[in-house]
Structure 1
Amino acid sequence: MTMRQQMLAWVGIIAAIVALLVLLSNILLPFVAGMGVAYFLDPVADRLEKRGMSRTLATVLIMVVFFLVTILAITLLVPVVMNQLESFIERMPLLVQAFNDRVLPYVQGIADRFNIDLRSNVQQALEDNKAQAMSMIGDVVNGLLGGGWAVFNMLSLVVITPVVGFYLLRDWDHMMARVDAYLPRDHAETIREQAREMDRVLAGFVRGQILVCLFLAAFYGLGLSLLGVQFGLFIGVTAGMISFIPYVGSVFGFIVAMGVALAQFWPDYVWIGLVAAVFGLGQFIEGNFLQPKLVGERVGLHPVWVIFALLAGGALFGFVGILIAVPLFAVIGVLMRFAFTRYRESWLYRPGEPPDSPPPQPAPKQNPPNG
């Protein structure tokens, strides 16, 4: 088989896999979630194996502890967050009115110097966007909770994900060995090297970013709740959990929390400043300790590409696409860096040199003529 035929075959295989994923996107969520759980917990199973525990027993122990902690967290946290979300939506008009009554007159005094009617502009903007905002919230809730596939996905997460996660975690090493056995022998070491790089990148994102998001959700939620900010737990947890999108989580949380704090505490600048300090401290810890330690530069994607990956994944595959978008783009980034490295080593990058030409040899040193 020629190189051209091999390339066409691989392109056809990849196209068939992508088409199959698009057709089956509605049922992929429990399998993607189970694969993520297995990949996240595989290092723990490896450590228990090294201490003499069988892989099956280690898997059972890990999965039981993991899902007990998950169920406990959901049972304790989700009802509180949902109640605060419902109260936040109901009290939104009161918060806006409090902002208009307490804060806007002070800001309007500054705006008067520039002949700007800020009160009218803000009121008009709120009126224009109120219906649109409520429509967007309704669409999101309907998308998450409505429809047969949504109900199926929620049930499958509870029933199928633990089963998939258990078998993948138990057989992870055997599956990797089986895949390695099918690698083309002439290129096996190169493929293994790129696979190790992909694992390093994915470990940085999947394991590192999840830990960062969990810390920020706990930090923001607890900090705002201790300060007595209304709906602080909902705001903090939401800001932390969407922090895998660069800057979006922190900016969203800061704007919403400051808006609530201004409406609730104005003109007490100390409490308003403390709310701002929670997000400032959270960003300081994330930027100087969590990201370098847990994630670092291992993903290798610019923040703009991360945002593009999330939007593209969501548009193509919905919620499943959002889950796999950044890891998939990170893997593609590894392959692209490898391709560009090979390109710069090839004769295509140096068109003056023929293919497989040996490097130029230095000219032989000539002895000076005898005088």
Structure 2
Amino acid sequence: MNSDNQFIKFLGGKNIVFVLAVLILIGITVLIYNKISFVFYPLIVILSTITPPIILAFIAFYLLNPIVDLLEKLKIQRIWGIVIIIIGIGGLATGLILLIAPAIEKQISDLITAFPNYVQTLWLDINNWIQNNTLLEPYYDEAYNWVVSNFSNIPGVIGSYVLDAFAGVRSFAGTVTNVVVAMVTFPFVLFFLLKDGNRFKEYSLKLLPPKYRRDANQVLVNMDAQVGSYIQGQIIVATCIGILLYIGYFIIGLDYAITLAILAGILSVVPYLGPTLSIIPAVIIAIVNSPLMLLKLAIVWVVVQFLEGNFISPNIMGKTMKIHPLTIMIVLLVAGNLFGLIGVVLGIPGYAILKVIVSYMYQKFKERYNRFYGEKYGPYQIDEE
């Protein structure tokens, strides 16, 4: 009986009844809200409008806040440091756009126009190679018939996508409006985050009961360290990859070098999956160009990946994000299926936040177990913060 009472106390004593009642009420509330979800449509619109600029502002905040802190240590008032950085970045971005935007725009336009021809040429080369290969020739007709039978409905599928695209034109104005709102409001959100970020955290903690402020502050500190280091490191690594690939593509004379390098840098923000996708257009262009160009591309890619894996990522990312590669792949797949492209990009930071919360709760669970059962059955090992 004493053991049973101890277990009830471990679970929370009489509070467990209250917790169960609250969970039941939450479930009933969710069920009711699901039936009247149309009432919350305006709230969904508001959230979908303000979320993109807030996410952009937080990403920029983690990149720029260390610079603002450094300027503040150099006796420059924080508000003036923020103004200097924003004006400097705005001027630099404007200068770069004026200088290189025309060349990039031309390359992108040419690549979009020429890429279907590259794919068609590659397909014809593969066809000719299969037909002229005595080992594969007996299987060519069989493979061709299989492709025809399984993909004969492609025109119909493409047609349905085209109709969906025309139907989606109606929402184009709304999409443009959201983009414009995000780009206009993002600098203002960033300014106030840089100016009052610490005050916002202190204000949020004061809203909580004093008993929970220490735990909440520790969780926020851990989340800030995990997400901040990931965003900073991933963007710096992606930039380095883009620059190195451009240098390599330029040296070997690959067509559309700057466009392919920018694409690779952007996609490298997504771990593992991004670099794999970014190399596909370059491989197609190199194969159509010549086998020698493909060999040169392979050398450039191996060198860049070697530098990134052995020098860039270990020194920039460090060991802050302790996530197994298999876990990263699962997170990317799940987040992509749930939220699309946004889920792929933000899946790892979201997982990092969830991991911090779950780890902290597990730490508290171990402390509670040690208090009730540690002396009798042996204590958990508590990790030091």
Give yes or no for TM over 0.5.
yes
- Inter-partner Cα distance in structure 2 for 1:33 and 1:232: 28
Cα distance, 1:231–1:43 mapped onto 2, change above 3 Å:
same
**1:261 is the counterpart of 2:286:** yes
Matched, 1:341 2:339: no
Q: Distance in 2 between matches of 1:173 and 1:26?
A: 25
Q: Does 1:242 align with 2:267?
A: yes
1:56 aligns with 2:72: no
**1:366 corresponding residue in structure 2:** none
Q: Is the 8 A contact 2:206 2:213 kept in 1?
A: no
**Structure 2 residue 381 is matched with structure 1 residue 356:** no
Aligned-pair CA distance for 1:211: 1.0
**Is the contact made by 2:50 and 2:182 (CA closer than 8 Å) also made in structure 1?**
no
Give the whole-Å Cα distance in 2 for the aligned partners of 1:139 and 1:283. Answer: 39
- 1:297–1:52 Cα change, 3 Å: same
**Aligned with 2:253 (options 204, 228, 234):** 228
Distance in 2 (CA, whole Å) between partners of 1:225 and 1:118 is 41
Give the unaligned 5+ runs of structure 1: 363-371
Deviation at 1:207, TM superposition (A): 0.7
Deviation at 1:253? 2.5
Higher mean alpha-carbon deviation, 159-168 vs 294-303, is at 294-303
Q: From the superposition, tell whether residues 93 and 179 of structure 1 become closer, same or farther in structure 2 (CA, over 3 Å).
A: closer
CA shift digits 1:144-196 (9 cap, x unpaired): 99712321233224321111111211111222232343443333333332222
Question: Contact 1:300/1:333 (CA < 8 Å) preserved in 2?
Answer: no
Aligned residue identity for 2:75: G
Residues 1:24 and 2:40 aligned together: no
**1:300, distance to aligned residue in structure 2 (A):** 3.6
What 5-or-longer segments of structure 2 have no aligned partner?
A: 1-13, 34-39, 379-385
Name which of 234, 237, 244 aligns with 1:212: 237
How far apart in 1 are the matches of 2:95 and 2:201?
33
8 Å Cα contact 1:300-1:330 kept in structure 2 = no
Cα drift, residue 201 of structure 1: 0.8
Contact preservation (8 Å) 2:49, 2:182: no
CA contact (8 A) 1:208 1:294 kept: yes
- Please give the per-residue CA displacement for 1:299-333, whole angstroms capped at 9, x wherever unaligned: 34422243135415634xx74x5554332221001
- Is 2:125 aligned against 1:98? no
CA offset at residue 236 of structure 1?
2.2
Q: Deviations over 1:178-225 (max 9, x none)?
A: 234344333333333222221221122111111111222222234224
CA distance in 1 between counterparts of 2:86 and 2:145 reads 52
Q: CA deviation at 1:240?
A: 1.9
Q: How is 1:119-198 mapped onto 2 (pairs within 5 angstroms)?
A: 121=144, 147-198=172-223
- CA shift, 1:251, in A, is 1.4
Show the counterpart of 1:37: 60
CA contact (8 A) 2:230 2:349 kept: yes
For residue 48 of structure 1, report the CA deviation from its aligned partner.
Answer: 1.0
Note if 1:277 corresponds to 2:299. yes
Q: Matched residue of 1:112: which SS?
A: coil
Question: What residue in structure 2 maps to residue 367 of structure 1?
Answer: none
AA aligned to 1:36 is I
The 8 Å contact of residues 45 and 55 in structure 1, kept in 2 or not, is answered as yes
More off after superposition, 156-165 vs 106-115: 106-115
Deviates more, 1:195-204 or 1:48-57: 195-204
Deviates more, 1:179-188 or 1:58-67: 179-188
Q: Which one of 333, 336, 356 corresponds to residue 311 of structure 1?
A: 336
Indicate the larger mover: 301-310 or 251-260. Answer: 301-310
Q: Tell me if the contact between 2:130 and 2:140 (Cα under 8 Å) persists in the aligned partners.
A: no
- The residue aligned with 2:92 is 69
Sequence identity percentage: 21
The amino acid of 2:237's aligned partner reads V
Aligned-residue offset at 1:272 = 1.9
Segment drifting more, 227-236 vs 159-168: 227-236
Cα deviation, 1:254-310, whole Å, max 9, x if unaligned, reads 2221111110124xx3x3211112221221122112222222342344222431354
1:119-161 alpha-carbon deviations (Å, 9 max, x no partner): 9749958x86986789979989998997123212332243211
Measure how far apart 1:29 and its partner are.
1.4
Q: How much does 1:85 deviate?
A: 3.5
Q: CA deviation at 1:75?
A: 4.7
